[in-house]
Amino acid sequence: MKTVYALGFIGLTALSVRGQAALYGQCGGANWTGATTCVAGAVCTYSNAYYSQCLPASSSSSSTHSTTTTSSSHSTTTTSTSHTTTTTTTSAAPTTTGTGSGSLKFYGVNIAGFDFGCDTSGDCTESGAYPPLLVYYGADGAGQMTHFVNDDGYNIFRLPVSWQFLTNNAETGVLNSTTLAEYNTLVQDCLSTGAYCIIDIHNYARFNGAIIGQGGPTNEVFAELWGNIAANYASESKIIFGVMNEPHDLNVTLWAGTVQAAVTAIRNAGATTQIILLPGDNYTSAATIYSDGSGAALLTVKNPDGTTTNLVFDVHKYLDSDNSGTSDVCVTDNVSEAWEPLAAWLRTNGRQALNSETGGGNTASCVQYMCQQIAYMKANASDVILGYVGWAAGNFATTYVLSETPTDTNGVWTDTELVSSCMAPK
């Protein structure tokens, strides 16, 4: 039933009449060559230089940038493995028929470095990490976050870290006081900006190749890890707990049990109100979580009191041809293949999600499609998609293919093209 609804919605929005753009279809923007007028009942509404969209006449009439046609032009090493917020307490459940408010709750970026050395097998070492902190001879992560908040209006940062770093390579839930103190330096720098800070275990649901709860570390050990982390931050209302980065190739029913163990441990440690991000299979893909079985399995995960308050789905989506986040050539805005059907599924189930990883190159194609993706989320899905966190800044060099690392020139910060064109809310 949910699948039929989602596909029907996609089909409806894909149609056009006599060269007119469909409801919620694109109708203008840089390099746009399609229809610039909308079907009856819709108005071509300006979002930014790269994207105008056909919105219902009743909702677009309140926009200060409404127009019938829009056309504009714009020109435009350290490596980590595959990519890898979230959110605030909501006072009421989302509606099942709502759309966008024109703004998102969260805008942010990953501050990478403590995750360096990890690969998709969960094979990491403590020595492979590269803290994005000047005191450890890394990048000025604190300065970056201060700039992003003050100059760009960001309000959330994801701070990926490997399990092995936190335990000094031991397959245990007991935190190592020395390495935890290093990571906590970045966490405190984040909190000092006033932003929300996501603690993200960046291990792909594995520890050195073995799946948690499925032949690898037991659920009890994983729960101990999260219980100890949560105990350190239970009083911090702006900490968000990212249970796991990009699980893949696992039994989704068993995985839901693992996530449940982590959620229970976090809440029992005293972190009773903070957001917890629930990751699905297939690298947490926004295009499959509603259909691959992992979303359905994770719907069973509950707080100890039986509620689902502040249990938010964790999703990722890149814009390159294979969704790997490894190319600076973007080919899609992800709307029809991911965000429309996901939004429908979330509304049907009364839930919300956070896009904690998305990004692209500093190229014309990525600027175009990223602007379109963000415009769609704002206009049509902000009731269920809480926001996005770009990949990545921190210790990534400015030459990294998906770099969002700003350049500091004598205290003057300059953003990458993708950040300044699309991703920064200011």
| pLDDT band (50, 70, 90) for residue 58 | low
Tell me which DSSP letter residue 338 carries.
Answer: I
Radius of gyration over every alpha carbon of the chain, rounded to an integer in angstroms: 21
User: In 2-158, which residue ranges form alpha helices assigned H by DSSP?
Assistant: 2-14, 57-60, 141-152
CA separation for the pair 51, 88 (Å, rounded): 28
> Does the model's pTM come out above 0.75?
yes
CA separation for the pair 63, 56 (Å, rounded): 11
- Written as six digits, the tokens of 161 are 């870290």
Do 225 and 182 form a contact (C-beta atoms < 8 A)? no
| pLDDT band (50, 70, 90) for residue 29 | confident
CA separation for the pair 50, 28 (Å, rounded): 7
CA separation for the pair 264, 272 (Å, rounded): 10
Q: In which residue are the tokens 């009731």 written?
A: 383
- Written as six digits, the tokens of 420 are 């300044």
Give me the catalytic one of 126, 182, 224, 357. 357
Per-residue pLDDT, 30 = 64
Instruction: Report strand pairing: 196-201 vs 26-28.
Output: unpaired
**More confident: 19 or 44:** 44
Give me the catalytic one of 246, 337, 340, 404. 246
Give the number of other CB atoms < 10 A from CB of residue 150.
13
pLDDT in tens, 349-401: 999 999 999 999 999 999 999 999 999 999 999 999 999 999 999 999 999 99
321-325 long-range contacts, CB within 8 A, separation 24+: 323/285, 323/287, 324/82, 325/82, 325/83, 325/357, 325/359, 325/391, 325/402
The single-letter code of the amino acid at 278 is L
Do 255 and 297 form a contact (C-beta atoms < 8 A)? yes
> What are the residue boundaries of the structural domains of the chain, listed by start?
25-55, 106-421
What mean pLDDT is reported for the chain? 86
> For residue 116, which of 79, 74, 84, 156 has the smallest C-alpha distance?
79
- Written as six digits, the tokens of 195 are 């932003």
Do 334 and 341 form a contact (C-beta atoms < 8 A)? no
pLDDT reading at 155 higher than 80: yes
For the chain, the distance separating the N- and C-terminal CA atoms, rounded to the nearest angstrom, is 40
Which of these ranges, 55-69, 133-147, 255-269, has the smallest mean pLDDT? 55-69
- Written as six digits, the tokens of 235 are 């009083």
Per-residue pLDDT, 72 = 29
Core vs surface per residue 103-136: b (16+ CB within 10 A) or e: ebbbbbbbbbbbbbbbebbbbbebebbbbbbeeb
Q: Which CATH superfamily is domain 106-421 in?
A: Glycosidases (3.20.20.80)
pLDDT in tens, 86-103: 333 333 333 334 467 789
Q: What are phi and psi of 368, to 5 degrees?
A: -60, -55
pLDDT in tens, 276-329: 999 999 999 999 999 999 999 999 999 999 999 999 999 999 999 999 999 999
Do 276 and 240 form a contact (C-beta atoms < 8 A)? yes
pLDDT reading at 197 higher than 60: yes
CA separation for the pair 163, 169 (Å, rounded): 8
Per-residue pLDDT, 41 = 78
Q: In which residue are the tokens 């926009």 written?
A: 63
Per-residue pLDDT, 20 = 79
Per-residue pLDDT, 37 = 86
404 tagged catalytic:
no
Do 291 and 3 form a contact (C-beta atoms < 8 A)? yes
Per-residue pLDDT, 95 = 34
CA separation for the pair 171, 68 (Å, rounded): 60
| pLDDT band (50, 70, 90) for residue 36 | confident
- Strand intervals (E) in 282-406: 311-316, 353-358, 385-394
Per-residue pLDDT, 101 = 76
Per-residue pLDDT, 53 = 67
417 tagged catalytic:
no
Per-residue pLDDT, 18 = 40
pLDDT > 70 in the chain, percent: 81
